[in-house]
Amino acid sequence: MKRTLASLLSLMALTGITMLASCNKEDVGNGTQFRATIEGCAARDGKTTLSGTALNWVEGDQVAIYGTAGRGQYTATPQSPATVALFDNVSGTTGDGPFRAFYPSTLTTDGATINLPAQQTYVENSINEFPMYAESATNQLAFKNLCGVLKLHLTKANTNISSISVTANAEVNGDYTVSYVNDVPYLSYAGNGSKTVTMACATAQAIDNGRDFYIYLPAFDSLKSITLTTDDGRVCTKTVKSNICIGVQRSTVTEITFGENDMEFVEPLPEGALPGLFSVSATQQVRFSQGNLQYQASTDTWRFAENQYDYVGDATQGNVFEDGVKCNNLLISDTYTGWIDLFGWGTGENPTLYSTDNSDYRTFIDWGINAISNGGNLPNTWRTLTYSEWMYLIYNRPNASAKKATGTVNGVHGLILLPDNWNTPESCVFNAHFSDWSDDYSSNSYTSTEWSIMEAVGAIFLPAAGLRGGIALDYLGINGMYWSSSPWDDTWVSFLSFVGYTANINSGYYYWGLSVRLARNSN
């Protein structure tokens, strides 16, 4: 039964249709020819043609068969598409049974472990190289499906699809072992995989009249999301609600329909950027980077922290490591092999400068001029907010007071900022107020798992990473101080400052080492 995606994500259960296998046990051949039947499910041109509810062999299909003498490769003889085919030896020696047979022939190289690819290829009205397996003591092979099928029906829309990505709660590609229980094959994950499979289209497919896409997947319990990408780079991502369970079973077809109203395509999220949009003026919104800026002098590498709550600190405080060694801002130097994340003002070209002479910092060089390794790795794509932009964000944007508070994330103190369009997730709580004391960050508290939910809908967290003055550190875990690009005078420069009970725009010396959270304009 077809249902729209909207209904699927609104407490509706999804059903699959299990197809029946066919099998014929007549004898064939003398060890150089095998007779193979095929279990039904759905199909593809090139191996199988979609024909009602049946999978069909077609001429040129190749299988790998392992016997006592090793591996042989066999090709289907000329015929019309059918559920039964004769396969003739074209290379290798199989020997005697028992036999283990694999389709496609490239599925395994050792007959023991198979590999399900992370990328599949779209073929119209079909499943491309749908994995199957057979065990037999004779030349009669009854191929059984190793996977199930996710059928995506896209209704009429004025766009062209270049790829579709499916993300599950478990690995859906990589290495697997096959076991046979009561004449049914089962897959066990063995490693080297991920939770996302992408179907790529060699030529972008128009869906102006609707179109079906078939993606084969090992059995899993819960679908997480589906992302459609257009030929002009826009994306549409639909995430399954946490209380909905959509899975795939072996040898079944699970169907999802994207209605026209489901397919809202937007510009893809830039690498290293978080999804929330934040107004920094009446006409400009920005996206913040995924974490504070970090620098490794020994390799001249810039990166964003992996998590928003990561900060370097000193030998004991902080949570950033390199090769198992705790990183330390006090070890700042031109050759330091660890990471630092407290920088003198405007040191985009000289990040290891730790002079305490204000005159050494008079010219502002934005850190965003550099290529950020996990932020697109291109120069001049990120920037530092100005004084007026921090002011607008903290005080003047609509409902600004309801969109900021201090809190604790994964045990780290910091400031929470919410995007312009905010809806608190059902499973989370947000208290828009501050505490009574500078070191009290108990207004909000989130585990890393809880924060991942907040982050996914746009929330920002700035850790209270302290201050470096020359080669001395202070206020770790108590104060957060983030540079602006705006000087006040020859002595002072502006920055965002917060403690447990307040957040404001303050001023400090140019030579102070403060945190940097870069942003990029949204168009």
Per-residue pLDDT, averaged over 232-249, amounts to 85
Per-residue pLDDT, averaged over 298-324, amounts to 97
Between residues 512 and 24, the one the model is more confident about? 512
Residue 95 has pLDDT above 70, yes or no: yes
Indicate the length of the chain as a whole number: 523
Q: pLDDT digit string (tens) for 38-62?
A: 887 643 333 333 344 457 888 889 9
Q: pLDDT digit string (tens) for 463-472?
A: 999 999 999 9
What is the number of alpha carbons within 13 Å of residue 428 lying toward its C-beta?
A: 23
> Using CA atoms, how far apart are residues 370 and 59, in angstroms rounded to an integer?
55
Residue 26 has pLDDT above 50, yes or no: no
In the 8-state DSSP scheme, what is residue 376?
A: T
208: three-class secondary structure by DSSP: coil
Per-residue model confidence (pLDDT) at position 426: 82
Share above pLDDT 70 across residues of the chain, in percent, rounded to a whole number: 91
Residue 203 has pLDDT above 60, yes or no: yes
Where residue 243 falls among pLDDT bands split at 50, 70, 90? confident
- Determine the Cα angle at 508 with ends 383 and 384, to 5°: 5
Neighbour-count burial of 218, counting CB atoms closer than 10 A to its CB (0-12 exposed, 13-18 middle, 19+ buried): buried
Q: In the 3-class helix/strand/coil scheme, how is 103-117 assigned residue by residue?
A: ECHHHECCCCEEEEC
Between residues 387 and 11, the one the model is more confident about? 387
Per-residue model confidence (pLDDT) at position 10: 30
Q: pLDDT digit string (tens) for 388-404?
A: 999 999 999 999 999 99
Average predicted confidence (pLDDT) for the chain:
89
Q: Which of 9-13, 180-184, 418-422 has the lowest mean pLDDT?
A: 9-13
Per-residue model confidence (pLDDT) at position 80: 66
Q: Which of 9-23, 104-118, 269-283 has the lowest mean pLDDT?
A: 9-23
In the 8-state DSSP scheme, what is residue 487?
A: E
Share above pLDDT 90 across residues of the chain, in percent, rounded to a whole number: 73
Q: Which two tokens stand for residue 431?
A: 């208290």
Per-residue pLDDT, averaged over 115-135, amounts to 91
Whether residue 330 contacts residue 315, with contact meaning beta carbons closer than 8 Å, is answered with: yes
> Using CA atoms, how far apart are residues 194 and 75, in angstroms rounded to an integer?
32
Between residues 181 and 267, the one the model is more confident about? 181
Nearby residues of 182 by Cβ (< 8 Å), 6 or more positions away: none
Tokens 């009602």 label which residue?
A: 52
Each domain of the chain, given as residue ranges in start order, spans 5-262, 278-521
> Using CA atoms, how far apart are residues 189 and 177, in angstroms rounded to an integer?
7
Between residues 187 and 243, the one the model is more confident about? 187
- Its pTM stands at 0.60
Per-residue pLDDT, averaged over 332-339, amounts to 98
Per-residue model confidence (pLDDT) at position 196: 95
Whether residue 19 contacts residue 50, with contact meaning beta carbons closer than 8 Å, is answered with: no
Q: pLDDT digit string (tens) for 416-452?
A: 999 999 989 888 999 998 999 999 999 999 999 999 9
Q: Which two tokens stand for residue 143?
A: 């191929």
Per-residue model confidence (pLDDT) at position 54: 59
Per-residue pLDDT, averaged over 83-90, amounts to 92
Residue whose C-alpha is closest to residue 159's, from 211, 214, 122: 211
Neighbour-count burial of 267, counting CB atoms closer than 10 A to its CB (0-12 exposed, 13-18 middle, 19+ buried): exposed
Q: Which two tokens stand for residue 322?
A: 């390199």
For the chain, how big is the Rg over CA atoms in Å? Answer: 29
Between residues 370 and 156, the one the model is more confident about? 370
Query: Could you count the other beta carbons within 10 Å of the beta carbon of residue 144?
Result: 21
- Determine how β-strand 480-487 pairs with β-strand 492-499: antiparallel
Where residue 268 falls among pLDDT bands split at 50, 70, 90? confident
> Using CA atoms, how far apart are residues 46 and 81, in angstroms rounded to an integer?
10
Residue 456 has pLDDT above 80, yes or no: yes
Residue whose C-alpha is closest to residue 131's, from 197, 78, 79: 197
Where residue 267 falls among pLDDT bands split at 50, 70, 90? confident
> Using CA atoms, how far apart are residues 422 and 147, in angstroms rounded to an integer?
39
Helix (H) or strand (E) holding 229: strand 223-230
Nearby residues of 469 by Cβ (< 8 Å), 6 or more positions away: 356, 509, 511, 512, 513
Per-residue model confidence (pLDDT) at position 49: 35
What separation, in Å, do the N-terminal and C-terminal C-alpha atoms of the chain show?
40
